[in-house]
Amino acid sequence: MSGHSKWATTKHKKAAIDAKRGKLFAKLIKNIEVAARVGGGDPSGNPTLYDAIQKAKKNSVPADNIDRAVKRGSGAEGDGASYDTIMYEAYAGGSVAILIECLTDNRNRAFADVRVAVTRNGATLADGGSVQRLFSRKGVIEVAKKQEGRTITEDDLLEATMDAMPEEINDEGEGFTLLTDAPDLVDVRKAIQAAGLDYESADVVFWPSFDQAVDDVDQALKIERVVDALDDLDDVQNVYTNAKYSDAVEAKLAEED
């Protein structure tokens, strides 16, 4: 089940962007509010909320902020903002598909900001559905190798998830990424926990059905500029691409970081 992970490409440079802690906190808090609004404020009965809280904790969001977000979302602490999920689509660097997932309380603002970020960075907005059809919903679970004095191996994960059967387990260097069908995400995550292992995050994402090879550094830099500009917007929660950088391009981008 091992292989190259598209998730590594999808999230390229995201760590650097998310270092802007305030924006990251805001996005994580928004995820918690929406999860609580949709499925209720009890994490034990709302796995989406459970995973949103887990991810916030892993990123050092203060417990008070998490608690308030749950209360706002569930209606226990006044009426929180009502967020809509909106998808925008674009092409960059020629034929690389970009899918932009927004959570917003102002559709007009979200569209205007996305349009500016896309067009000012040399990309083009696409017709609705033309890009989204190139992606499907998948579950992605990230597991660190170093956990409480032990090193987790691929065999440990294979044994833990034997019955849950993830589609892929990919070695990313400092950790593993497990790919699942979206409905199987919770079962795989629970199997990992039942084996006494911890996980960093568990998310349902948009996964490209095919990779678009990018072998030119200048083209890759243009794509990254668009992704960075979009990821920096308050209303944008996630940005997905089907770009697959060559090893040489990856090395050059690492130098740019």
pLDDT digits (tens, 9 = 90+) for 175-200: 999 999 999 999 999 999 999 999 99
Q: How far apart are CA 214 and CA 223, in angstroms?
A: 10
**Token match 């509010």: residue?**
33
pLDDT score of 3: 38
Q: Give 48-54 contacts, CB < 8 A, sequence gap 24+.
A: 51/189, 51/201, 51/202, 51/203, 52/28, 54/199, 54/201, 54/202
Residues with pLDDT less than 70, the chain: 1-19, 78-81, 257
pLDDT score of 151: 95
At residue 80, the 3 state secondary structure works out as coil
Q: How far apart are CA 126 and CA 96, in angstroms?
A: 11
Closest CA to 51 of 79, 62, 39, 81: 39
**pTM listed for this prediction:** 0.86
pLDDT score of 16: 53
Cβ neighbours of residue 65 under 8 Å, at least 6 residues apart?
25, 29, 56
pLDDT score of 79: 66
Asked if 117 and 227 count as a contact pair (C-beta separation under 8 A), the reply is no
Closest CA to 38 of 29, 28, 48, 30: 48
Strands 212-214 and 96-104, by their bridges, are: unpaired
pLDDT score of 200: 92
Token output for 230 = 């979009």
pLDDT score of 7: 52
| Region of 40 on the Ramachandran plot (φ > 0 left; ψ -120 to 50 alpha; else beta) | left
| Dihedral pair phi/psi, residue 248, rounded to 5° | -65, -40
pLDDT score of 18: 53
